[in-house]
């Protein structure tokens, strides 16, 4: 049973930890968002790919919710003392990974190649793929102006209301090597409980990825990132309210029109008739511990009709 998962960072990573606990990780392929990648202090940082890698390798800091456990911050403090930028937090251990990635990219490796190397070095058995190797970047349009994603999200604490989201580079971007095959050869496709606009949106903005999903012959199941109409963390609920007009399961499903067969929603949300014959499946979607993560993964496979 092969599963391919479209994923952002933290929410996607939580889901993936449950999935690899219930299916053979050798049969899991992950298509990760790269549109919030950023260059910091000369280093290429891929926050979503790294959240996944750290989570699956058991290296993530679960309390802080991002970055690595047992982290220290000497390099960043030193950079700041010497007048370097320090608003984007990079820990010492994290920087070690970014150094290796950045060197490989400068030597001509693709992001796909270097991501595979990093994943292997971290002991991952599943396949971790960036959605694209082409430059694809999310921009947020707000009353205060248009901001690069991390400027809005981190530097401005995502306080500006979002009028529109756009994905620079999307028209030219092609799926990275392995992505279309992973979708075409999957027995089940999952859209993780990630932010529909800034994590999954950029992946679906790559035309050939969207087309591969649209022509699927296997079930595609999305998991809602909302519980009781609210994001567990981050701006997904505010974005849905403004950009989709509400935070019900129907509003979440409207982000994935024509691309999903079922939407897994939380017990706290009201099941609804969804457009396009999309089924709602009710589960407990809060992934607060290992057991909850496993249970959600099993519910998703069950919703797809492919029990583990």
Closest approach of Ca ion to the CB of residue 254, in Å: 21
Q: Interface with Ca ion by CB under 5 A: which range of 7-15, 134-142, 251-259, 269-277?
A: 7-15
Burial 1-28 (b: 16+ CB within 10 A, else e): ebbbbbbbbbbbbbbbbbbbebbeeebb
Interaction of residue 51 with ligand GDP, rule CB under 6 A = yes
Binding characters for ligand GDP, 210-229, by CB under 6 A (x = yes): --------------xx-x--
Interaction of residue 8 with Ca ion, rule CB under 5 A = yes
Residue 94 binds what, of ligand GDP, Ca ion, none (CB under 5 to 8 Å, by partner type)? none
Question: At which residue do the structure tokens 């029990």 appear?
Answer: 307
Binder among 3, 5, 10, 75 for ligand GDP (CB under 6 A): 10
Closest approach of ligand GDP to the CB of residue 65, in Å: 8
Adjacent-strand bridge partners of 44: 39
Tokens of 166: 């756009």
Neighbours of 202 (CB within 10 A): 29
Cα 72 to Cα 93: distance, rounded to the nearest angstrom:
7
Secondary structure (3-state) at 240: helix
CA atoms within 13 A on the CB side of 255: 36
Angle (CA) 146-161-167 rounded to 5° is 45
Return the CA Rg of the chain. Answer: 18
Residue 234 binds what, of ligand GDP, Ca ion, none (CB under 5 to 8 Å, by partner type)? ligand GDP
Contacts with Ca ion in 188-217 (CB under 5 A)? 199
- Start-end of H helices in the chain: 10-22, 47-56, 74-81, 92-106, 111-121, 149-150, 179-184, 201-204, 207-214, 236-243, 249-253, 290-303
Interaction of residue 199 with ligand GDP, rule CB under 6 A = yes
Interaction of residue 159 with ligand GDP, rule CB under 6 A = no
Residue 11 binds what, of Ca ion, ligand GDP, none (CB under 5 to 8 Å, by partner type)? ligand GDP
Contacts with Ca ion in 20-49 (CB under 5 A)? 36, 48
Nearer to ligand GDP, 66 or 104 (CB): 66
Binding stretches for ligand GDP (CB under 6 A)? 7-12, 14, 48, 51, 192-195, 199, 224-225, 227, 231-234, 236, 285-287
């Amino acid at each position: 049973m092969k599963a391919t998962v479209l994923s952002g960072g933290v929410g996607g990573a939580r889901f993936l930890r449950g999935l690899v606990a219930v299916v053979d990780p050798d049969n899991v392929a992950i298509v990760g968002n790269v549109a919030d990648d950023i260059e910091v202090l000369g280093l290429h940082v891929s926050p979503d790919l790294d959240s996944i890698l750290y989570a699956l390798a058991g290296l993530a800091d679960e309390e802080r919710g991002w970055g690595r456990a047992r982290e220290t911050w000497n390099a960043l403090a030193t950079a700041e003392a010497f007048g370097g930028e320090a608003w984007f937090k990079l820990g010492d251990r994290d920087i070690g990974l970014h150094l290796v990635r950045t060197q490989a990219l400068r030597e001509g490796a693709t992001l796909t190649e270097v991501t595979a190397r990093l994943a292997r070095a971290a002991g991952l058995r599943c396949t971790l793929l960036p959605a694209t190797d082409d430059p694809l970047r999310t921009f947020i349009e707000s009353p205060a102006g248009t901001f690069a994603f991390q400027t809005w999200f981190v530097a401005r604490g995502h306080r500006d209301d979002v009028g529109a989201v756009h994905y620079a580079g999307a028209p030219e971007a092609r799926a990275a090597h392995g992505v279309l095959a992973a979708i075409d050869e999957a027995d089940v496709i999952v859209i993780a409980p990630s932010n529909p606009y800034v994590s999954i949106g950029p992946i679906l903005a790559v035309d050939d990825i969207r087309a591969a999903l649209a022509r699927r012959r296997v079930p595609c199941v999305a998991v809602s990132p909302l519980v009781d109409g609210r994001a567990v963390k981050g701006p997904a609920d505010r974005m849905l309210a403004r950009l989709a007009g509400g935070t019900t399961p129907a509003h979440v499903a409207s982000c994935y029109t024509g691309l999903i067969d079922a939407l897994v929603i939380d017990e706290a949300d009201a099941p609804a008739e969804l457009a396009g014959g999309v089924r709602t499946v009710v589960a407990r979607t809060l992934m607060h511990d290992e057991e909850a993560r496993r249970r959600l993964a099993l519910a998703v496979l069950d919703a797809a009709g492919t029990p583990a």
